[in-house]
Amino acid sequence: MAEKVVHKSWIIQYNLHSILGFLLLVFLFVSFYLIGDNSDGASFLANKPTRKNSSPKCDLFSGNWIVDNVSYPLYKEQQCSFMADDFACHKFGRKDSKYHYWRWQPIDCDLPRFNAKGLLEKLKGKRVLFVGDSLNKNQWASMVCLIETSGIPSLKPPIWKGNLITFEVKEYNATIDFYWSPLLVESNCDDPVKHRVRDRIIRIEAIEKHARHWIDADILIFDSFTWWLEAQMTLQWGSFNSSDAIHKKVGMKLRRYEMALRTWSDWLEFQIDQKRTRLFFMSLSSSHKNATDWGMGNDQNCYGETEPISRKEHWGSESDIKMMEIAEASVNGLKSKGLNIQYLNITQLSEYRKDGHPSIYKRNWVAPTKEQLSNPRKNSDCVHWCLPGVPDVWNQILYAYIMDSTTELKE
């Protein structure tokens, strides 16, 4: 009888251990599924920045560039079939590749790794639209490459119609679009191909021609700085076809920029659905035309540079703080009126990357002169960025804001 009791007790103990073991396996499986690597190599929890300290908010814009040749680049140039020739530096002869492997590391948190499928789940049935100049197109091209090289099937080449390029992801009923509008308001630079004009004429109070293409977007990403840097521009009141139009040549860069952003912000205030549409304004993208900024000769620029600037808080002479303050004030004004808008200050992190520009390694839309060929620096593009490269980090930051539904990110 005692043996039966012991035997029965052993069976119960055995079954209990089996059940606990099974539950442990289920727990491990679920844990692996939730936090393990997915097909993109990105963690489910990596959609959000992780803080390193007790700071209530995560500042993604303050940090350092560190070499990471394990998880970077996020894609390869040749893998992106939609890569624009303006940014395909290896295709046009750049031999060094270290610029691919620099990872932006914020000081007080970790930047989440870009997860294209996670982003597209968030954007299902939505329209994302980048609006601005060729630097905004640079960021849009980065976003398209990040999405394409993640293995999303059935992607079709972008369709260019007028000022608008549409990139459709049918599987998610989502579009990632770009709209050429370098000054936001109307100008004689609005042709997406033939916009290299000497005398820039701006209809400073006219925006509807462009803005009607933006109104149905769920997420709008704007930029507009570089095209305002001309010493003088002509402001116009009245249509381009009107004989009664009023013209005034203006040299006050800050004043005319402020006027244009007022037209832009007024349109957003009254035309955008505040409950539906998220807005972002990208800060000034740093250029590296003047090598004296990092201690080189005044006849040098980004050409031949292969390392970032290491001096902490370096600030280049071409980055106009007052223009940035005007843009940020415009954004804050819209925010105070209830619009869901963020100013993404990517200037400082871009300032360090003198190595990230195409210089001569891009398609030349205008054939270089003999003088430029004999002196490559005179033909160097130190404004735009090679891909993969710096704009991928801009998009990682944008991704963090889109995916984050809390107030943990610094505003």
* End-to-end Cα, the chain, rounded Å: 74
Please state, in angstroms and rounded to a whole number, the distance separating the CA atoms of residues 172 and 181: 27
Q: Which of 355, 343, 354 is nearest to 279 (CA)?
A: 343
How open is the CA angle 197-83-220, to the nearest 5 degrees?
70
Hey, what are 135's tokens? 């630097």
Please state, in angstroms and rounded to a whole number, the distance separating the CA atoms of residues 359 and 375: 12
Residue with tokens 């390869």: 76
Q: Return the amino acid letter for 92.
A: F
Q: Are strands 201-203 and 219-222 parallel, antiparallel or unpaired?
A: unpaired
**Residues classed as catalytic:** 134, 381, 384
Strand partners, 129: 177, 220
Q: How far is CA 237 from CA 134, 166, 227, 249, 270, in A?
A: 26, 32, 19, 12, 22
Q: Which of 355, 286, 348 is nearest to 314 (CA)?
A: 348
